[in-house]
């Protein structure tokens, strides 16, 4: 099993646990995106937030995170007010 946890500073904390890392990554991206979409930010600010904070963390999870988990290690990445981490759990 894999657990992916994430936090948006002072706003939202959530996690996903499962076996399919691709699914977990998609859920993280969708749930964080939904928080951003309902945040009340202007459209250009939401676009900036997704590009500067969400996209780099998701890309890092898909590359560095998948590799680290494959080696039995944990992974974490922060971008601005967004932090995500992943680890294997029993």
What tens digit of pLDDT does each residue of 4-31 get? 999 987 678 999 999 999 999 999 999 9
Q: What is the pLDDT of residue 33?
A: 92
Query: Exposure pattern of 10-38 as b/e (b: 16+ CB <10 Å)?
Result: eeeeebbeeeebeebbebbbeebeebbee
Average per-residue pLDDT for the chain = 94
Q: What percent of the chain has pLDDT over 70?
A: 99
Q: Which domain holds residue 33?
A: 2-88
pTM of the shown model = 0.90
Work out how many domains the chain is built from and give that number: 1
């Amino acid at each position: 099993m894999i657990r992916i946890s994430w936090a948006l500073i002072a706003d939202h904390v959530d996690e996903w646990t499962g076996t399919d890392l691709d699914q977990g990554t998609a859920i993280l991206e969708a749930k964080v995106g939904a928080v951003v979409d309902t945040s009340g930010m202007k459209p250009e600010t939401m676009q900036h937030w997704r590009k500067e904070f969400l996209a780099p963390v998701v890309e890092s999870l898909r590359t560095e995170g998948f590799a680290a988990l494959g080696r039995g290690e944990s992974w974490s990445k922060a971008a601005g007010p967004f932090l995500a981490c992943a680890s294997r759990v029993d």
